Amino acid sequence: GAVVSQHPSRVICKSGTSVKIECRSLDFQATTMFWYRQFPKQSLMLMATSNEGSKATYEQGVEKDKFLINHASLTLSTLTVTSAHPEDSSFYICSASENTGGGQPQHFGDGTRLSIL
Amino acid sequence: EDKVVQSPLSLVVHEGDTVTLNCSYEVTNFRSLLWYKQEKKAPTFLFMLTSSGIEKKSGRLSSILDKKELFSILNITATQTGDSAVYLCAVVPGAGSYQLTFGKGTKLSVIP
């Protein structure tokens, strides 16, 4: 089945640091990948849609200059949390599905737990 | 605005019990409904449903969709402690769209 790999799984760093999270589709190509954020005991909240070769589409309330997304190839999207602060601490998850016009389910990476001290 | 509502929000059962999790939705366009299981990490895919009345099964888990009533259920029979997780329902709203709208999830706790 389709596998999505996300790295790193855990980050602990000081306030003001920028953190880059990678999301890779290992055995399929994904024109579109999604980045989610999940707070404790809450469901996934879509942050942005990452489009290969073009700008990401951000959901309302998500700062595009804070959460930089790059989707340089059909198998890799990166999310960079710039100048992270404690309120950015959360569980970040990416997902992707095969390029079949929405007919395939999204598969999720294992997530990245980000803790900003 | 697209909406996905799951019930109950939490459920505690004993091993061996059968449970039914509910998901209703209101979306402008509908393509498919997905069920995921989330334990400590990211969600893992369970089922994708696109047609009404066709039950999908995987071991002790099964799911069915009613597109007329805008409703889906996820059944788990002979529950085990390893079934304890949050079960998420999500809808893909339209043809050509990959974007998911998630419900808040049902937290299932199976006690020995």
The answer on pLDDT for A32 being more than 70 is yes
- pLDDT of A34 > 60? The answer is yes
Residue A111 touches partner B, C-beta closer than 8 Å = yes
Chain A hits for B96, Cβ within 8 Å: 101-102
List, for residues B40-99, the tens digit of each pLDDT value.
888 999 999 999 999 999 999 999 999 999 999 999 999 999 999 999 999 987 766 667
- Indicate which of B47, B98, B107 best probes the interface with A, i.e. most A CBs within 10 Å of its own CB: B98
DSSP chain A: ---EEEE-SEEEE-TT--EEEEEEESSS--SEEEEEEE-TTS--EEEEEEETTS--EEPTT--TTTEEEEEEETTEEEEEETT--GGG-EEEEEEE--SSTT-S--EE---EEEEE-
- What is the percent of chain A with per-residue pLDDT over 70, rounded to a whole number? 95
* pLDDT tens per residue, range A62-85: 999 999 999 888 899 999 999 999
